[in-house]
Amino acid sequence: NAGVTQTPKFRVLKTGQSMTLLCAQDMNHEYMYWYRQDPGMGLRLIHYSVGEGTTAKGEVPDGYNVSRLKKQNFLLGLESAAPSQTSVYFCASSYSIATPVQNEQFFGPGTRLTVL
Amino acid sequence: DAKTTQPTSMDCAEGRAANLPCNHSTISGNEYVYWYRQIHSQGPQYIIHGLKNNETNEMASLIITEDRKSSTLILPHATLRDTAVYYCIVRSTVKAAGNKLTFGGGTRVLVKP
């Protein structure tokens, strides 16, 4: 199993450009998440999804949109990139089971995004 | 979810035990304590979790005080590869919460030879 994969690994954008980050998981997880991590900070939740076709806002959703058309994929879009969105973006997935034994989150390797 | 307080950083000697404290004085009855770690430039990795009993797995041990207001993660024999940021997270088990994690600043652990 590949686990959680993210595409691309690195990207440089100019202010105002748009792009989509792709997250894919092969563990049949129901839940998926997008986080951002700024230098020296902990991760902050942008959006998450509890199932195919559903999405919800996290702590810092402004400036981002997401879609979950397939269970295994979770897309993060930036419609008009701003320098404040320069960050490392992590995707994660987990089972929906409430008991903590089986609902740990598995994280991808991250996408390093720079907006000039 | 309850907030947690951790020291910003700590050093540990290779081969010795590393004891990482975490305060979560506002924890409620349906909240578990989770520990994740993040090795430089990688995604966070789950370590261990607990409710009120002490827990041990192949990576670490978790000691939770009787009043559940604090806990300690123990890495029994720290190696250089344990150098990472360690996050203590308290999370509800209610399914409607979406299993979300709230990361604080964590403790930056440096294992020295």
Contacts of B49 (CB under 8 A, 6+ apart): A100, A104, B32, B33, B34, B35, B55, B62
- Residue from B68, B63, B74 nearest B30 by CA: B68
% of chain A with per-residue pLDDT over 70: 95
| Predicted pLDDT of residue A84 | 96
Residue in A50, A104, A110 nearest the CB of B43: A110
Q: What is the mean pLDDT of residues A52-64?
A: 95
| Alpha carbon distance A54, A63 (integer Å) | 18
CB < 8 Å to A56, chain B: 98
Q: What is the mean pLDDT of residues A105-116?
A: 96
| Predicted pLDDT of residue A85 | 97
| Predicted pLDDT of residue A70 | 96
| Alpha carbon distance B51, B64 (integer Å) | 8
Q: Do A33 and B42 count as a contact with CB atoms less than 8 A apart?
A: no
Q: Tokens for B112, please give them.
A: 């020295």
Band of residue A95 on the pLDDT scale cut at 50, 70, 90: confident
| Predicted pLDDT of residue A47 | 96
Q: Do B103 and A43 count as a contact with CB atoms less than 8 A apart?
A: yes
- Residues 4-23 (B) with a CB less than 8 A from some CB of A: none
Cβ atoms of residues A66 and A34 within 8 Å: yes
| Predicted pLDDT of residue B100 | 82
| Predicted pLDDT of residue A100 | 57
Which has the minimum average pLDDT: A22-26, A111-115, B28-32, B56-60? B28-32
Distance from CA of A86 to the nearest CA of B (A): 15
| Alpha carbon distance B26, B17 (integer Å) | 28
Q: What is the mean pLDDT of residues A56-77?
A: 96
Task: For chain B, list residues with pLDDT below 50.
Answer: none
Distance from CA of B45 to the nearest CA of A (A): 7
Cβ atoms of residues A49 and A32 within 8 Å: yes
| Predicted pLDDT of residue A102 | 60
